[in-house]
Chain A
């Protein structure tokens, strides 16, 4: 069958026409075999540009079109829709990228024009063998999974539930709340963190559409966008929340005391404990790693004193299976620990704290009931040194990136300190102050002007303890003077790291991580809440360090993206997927091993592609020794012809 192909080249203003002689390209290709129509136009993507294409298809009865313009990631959809409007199958429209791959990267007009011709010819050769395809439709499970119960996860879950969709919220610790519930006050308004957080936590626990699974971890995920199957491990708490009356008798008899995670080790808790008074779900958890034994012979004191008989030593881990249509990952962050940062005496000196520990000291519900006291001797510190960028912005030894929130929370810490200890002095060592955000710069100015916080531009070289004081040696790079402060307390603004275990989860979910271990967004500007795997979205500090307002905004954004999927009757999947020629297939299974989407399986000794899972990446095609696998519309035949076309002349 003779093919009638139309060719259009876009000037893209001077983006293409500045380097490529588009007129010459269009004239040259007019005589290329199969080309019935060839023209150039200043902006093909504009409405008149598209109309010209539609007109040409109708008038000259074209059955295929090739548009030479920008990258197909930008306007492929535009032109394919236009092709459909004109009455041909949208997969009969192909894009030749002569901008990113030609005009933008070359200077020599003659050579660039030659290259544009070759690129165009090779795409024409590909289009010549394009099949007409229809999108594959798949049903949608209209529920969502949110992983991580910090502020981002809570916000996403609430937004989804309030839109009418069922949500499964999974949190690995015994209570939701994340790091935000540990904070004392929040910048820049200094409102109490717990006071604004707990209403949201209560709303989650009471919401009929939210299924809350705390002390639970995602074990395994299979399926694809719209139809994920998730296995969740629910660890036993050994306490029945329905029976528990929160009388607290169990903790008074428990003989074990271990560092309390909620207070970051500033206090101790029992093996049976409630993380904090407002915990959701409001119940106790028996920490099996520290309990002397789950048999009455070993201890059994808590079960003895429990009047409502809420403690059940026979509770077993459960594996729950949930089906969901989309997933939001909000696994949050951790601070750099003493293993990573040993320079400033963190973990060695009791009065060297990290930011979260200082939050607990400031918090009204904290270990000191809101009084700022030194952990070592419970005296009020009169001089406190805050050090910014501890581990951040240090590409040689630590993290290259800026942890973003430390400038603001250090200003807040210094301010809170001054509000608690009026005669105290706060010093802040900084590299530079980054206070972009509504009301942020004013907040930092207030710390300096109203609360007399001394900002010293420079790095600290050494911290050591002497006579009950912590001596801080540093340099003020503005005055060039060496500085020595005999401080009572040092607070380190530690670098923000992805939460521990996030990397393993990312592997299970098959979502990418960046070099620092934060989850990668699909596009840094235009798709900031989508992961590279369709149907999975990112919220909060799991993606990059961010403050509460940003995390909440991203969480709501991710929820809307999830609703985009859940609100559909059916999802459509690109039909450019792999197909296996069973005559050539020997059933060696190498394609099964390499498929990153687990779309290929062996059935009766031959490879078989699940078209819904297949993303058309072509890895199977590259691996197959027998040339049995090929991706529709990128077949070996087409690639072969494309190579020939681009090598000729």
Chain B
């Protein structure tokens, strides 16, 4: 099990040594049991560091902000940024390295293993402990989570309150790290793609009905895109207006801007946007589940990404973020790649 004190000691140590610029971690949200991202650049701030089943966020997202900040600075501090990562998050770091977005030297990776547990789904938790004053969540080891309500502790099997993605997770230990806390564990998951099983059994008409209803809800707030660590492009192809107009952008380039997707939130355009995003995440999505979690209208975006993950695994034996030195899914070609989809 991860010992919080050891984790804190390590963070204090690397800040003291000046090894890292700052550390991205988790801290308690104004006295509540859930956490928020924390940016620790002073040793004393490490006291607030938290690691428990409420650490939902994929902090790799903030490496993008760091990169952009660094690009603007005249004499940037080139020291790495410390980032606390779970198994899934570590694979996101790997992809950023694989895609040359960052280098391995840009990050000091503090890995924490979820072991046989994971991160809670707040909806499941509040439903199970409805009306109770939840104060604190803790890993209780052996696939259990301790929930403190008022002064009373109750230990529940993790599955009852875990996020769906954590229930289906087969890689709970970080793949890449500078320092690792907790045990390296394997997880036996009988059906890692359970989420999409039902939907896959639908016929085309029913699938269409299902997605039409979901896409109709989309308000195009782009929260899914903003939270995604993989959506780091300066300018998204889904944007019909040029966001990245730079001094060398010519008038012709602006005039030739293609509107692949119209801005208005109507079903067809929403479909276009989400399908482009799903395709662009093929072989890149690590199922951190953030898009699904942040959606204000509860579109099950994980279904799309999970399906793409399944396809890339079934057809190409590819799992995102495992080997950063190898070509990405869409940029590798092997002679024995399946071609049955070619007519």
Contact between chains at A586 and B258 (CB < 8 Å): no
Contact of B258 among A588, A590, A623, A636 (CB under 8 A): A636
Contact between chains at B235 and A590 (CB < 8 Å): no
Given contacts A590-B99, A594-B333, contact A584 B234 (CB under 8 A): yes
Measured in the bound complex, the distance between the Cα atoms of B260 and A636 in whole Å is 10
Contact between chains at B331 and A637 (CB < 8 Å): no
CB distance from B192 to the nearest CB of A (A): 26
Please encode chain B, from 236 to 261, with 1 for each CB lying within 8 Å of some chain A CB and 0 for all others: 01000000101011000100101010
Measured in the bound complex, the distance between the Cα atoms of B343 and A403 in whole Å is 32
Nearest B-chain residue to A637, judged by Cβ? B256
Given contacts A581-B253, A637-B256, contact A586 B330 (CB under 8 A): no
Contact between chains at A593 and B331 (CB < 8 Å): yes
**Chain A residues with Cβ under 8 A from B260's Cβ?**
640
Judged by a CB distance under 8 angstroms, whether A625 is at the interface is: yes
**Chain B residues with Cβ under 8 A from A129's Cβ?**
256
Measured in the bound complex, the distance between the Cα atoms of B334 and A594 in whole Å is 11
Q: Which of B150-198 contact A (CB under 8 A)?
A: none
Contact between chains at B332 and A593 (CB < 8 Å): yes
Which of A589, A592, A623, A635 has the most chain B CB atoms closer than 10 A to its own CB?
A589
Contact between chains at A584 and B328 (CB < 8 Å): no
**Chain B residues with Cβ under 8 A from A581's Cβ?**
253
**Chain B residues with Cβ under 8 A from A635's Cβ?**
256
Contact of A594 among B99, B100, B248, B331 (CB under 8 A): B331
**Chain A residues with Cβ under 8 A from B100's Cβ?**
586-589, 602, 605
Contact between chains at A623 and B234 (CB < 8 Å): no
Measured in the bound complex, the distance between the Cα atoms of B249 and A637 in whole Å is 16
Judged by a CB distance under 8 angstroms, whether B143 is at the interface is: no
Nearest A-chain residue to B237, judged by Cβ? A627
Number of chain A residues close to chain B: CB under 8 A? 24
Judged by a CB distance under 8 angstroms, whether A626 is at the interface is: yes
Judged by a CB distance under 8 angstroms, whether A583 is at the interface is: yes
Judged by a CB distance under 8 angstroms, whether B233 is at the interface is: yes
Q: Which of A614-636 contact B (CB under 8 A)?
A: 623, 625-627, 635-636
Judged by a CB distance under 8 angstroms, whether B303 is at the interface is: no
Given contacts A588-B99, A637-B256, contact A583 B248 (CB under 8 A): yes
Please encode chain A, from 583 to 613, with 1 for each CB lying within 8 Å of some chain B CB and 0 for all others: 1101111111110000000100100000000
**Chain A residues with Cβ under 8 A from B244's Cβ?**
583-584
Contact between chains at A586 and B233 (CB < 8 Å): yes
CB distance from B215 to the nearest CB of A (A): 21
Given contacts A129-B256, A605-B100, contact A583 B330 (CB under 8 A): no
Contact between chains at B280 and A640 (CB < 8 Å): no
CB distance from B20 to the nearest CB of A (A): 23
CB distance from B311 to the nearest CB of A (A): 17
Contact of A625 among B256, B280, B327 (CB under 8 A): B280
CB distance from A592 to the nearest CB of B (A): 8
CB distance from B307 to the nearest CB of A (A): 18
Nearest B-chain residue to A588, judged by Cβ? B99
**Chain B residues with Cβ under 8 A from A591's Cβ?**
331
Contact between chains at A626 and B235 (CB < 8 Å): yes
Nearest B-chain residue to A635, judged by Cβ? B256
**Chain B residues with Cβ under 8 A from A593's Cβ?**
327-328, 331-332
Judged by a CB distance under 8 angstroms, whether B232 is at the interface is: yes
Contact between chains at A623 and B331 (CB < 8 Å): yes
Contact of B101 among A582, A586, A592, A636 (CB under 8 A): A586
Measured in the bound complex, the distance between the Cα atoms of B328 and A17 in whole Å is 49
Contact of A626 among B237, B246, B249, B258 (CB under 8 A): B237
Contact between chains at B258 and A640 (CB < 8 Å): yes
Contact between chains at A626 and B333 (CB < 8 Å): no
Given contacts A625-B280, A637-B256, contact A586 B331 (CB under 8 A): no
**Chain A residues with Cβ under 8 A from B249's Cβ?**
583
**Chain B residues with Cβ under 8 A from A640's Cβ?**
258, 260
**Chain B residues with Cβ under 8 A from A592's Cβ?**
331
CB distance from B7 to the nearest CB of A (A): 32
Contact between chains at B258 and A584 (CB < 8 Å): no
**Chain A residues with Cβ under 8 A from B280's Cβ?**
625
Contact of B234 among A586, A590, A627, A637 (CB under 8 A): A586
Please encode chain B, from 315 to 343, with 1 for each CB lying within 8 Å of some chain A CB and 0 for all others: 00000000000011011110000000000
Contact between chains at B235 and A584 (CB < 8 Å): yes
**Chain A residues with Cβ under 8 A from B234's Cβ?**
583-584, 586
**Chain A residues with Cβ under 8 A from B248's Cβ?**
582-583
**Chain B residues with Cβ under 8 A from A637's Cβ?**
256, 258
Measured in the bound complex, the distance between the Cα atoms of B279 and A626 in whole Å is 12
Contact of A584 among B101, B233, B330 (CB under 8 A): B233
Measured in the bound complex, the distance between the Cα atoms of B332 and A590 in whole Å is 8
Contact between chains at B99 and A626 (CB < 8 Å): no
Measured in the bound complex, the distance between the Cα atoms of B158 and A245 in whole Å is 86
Measured in the bound complex, the distance between the Cα atoms of B234 and A506 in whole Å is 41
Measured in the bound complex, the distance between the Cα atoms of B100 and A28 in whole Å is 51
CB distance from B337 to the nearest CB of A (A): 13
Measured in the bound complex, the distance between the Cα atoms of B341 and A75 in whole Å is 33
CB distance from A622 to the nearest CB of B (A): 9
Nearest A-chain residue to B257, judged by Cβ? A637
Contact between chains at B330 and A623 (CB < 8 Å): yes
Given contacts A588-B99, A593-B331, A626-B235, 10 further A-B contacts (CB under 8 A): A583-B235, A583-B249, A583-B253, A588-B100, A589-B100, A589-B331, A590-B330, A592-B331, A605-B100, A625-B233
25 pairs, A vs B, C-beta closer than 8 Å: A583-B235, A583-B244, A583-B248, A583-B249, A584-B235, A584-B244, A586-B232, A588-B328, A589-B100, A589-B331, A590-B99, A590-B327, A590-B330, A593-B327, A593-B328, A593-B331, A593-B332, A625-B233, A626-B233, A626-B237, A627-B237, A627-B258, A636-B258, A637-B256, A640-B260
Chain B interface residues (CB < 8 Å from chain A):
99-101, 232-235, 237, 244, 246, 248-249, 253, 256, 258, 260, 280, 327-328, 330-333
Q: Which 5 residue pairs of A and B lie closest in terms of their CB atoms, listed nearest first?
A: A593-B331, A588-B99, A590-B331, A593-B327, A637-B256
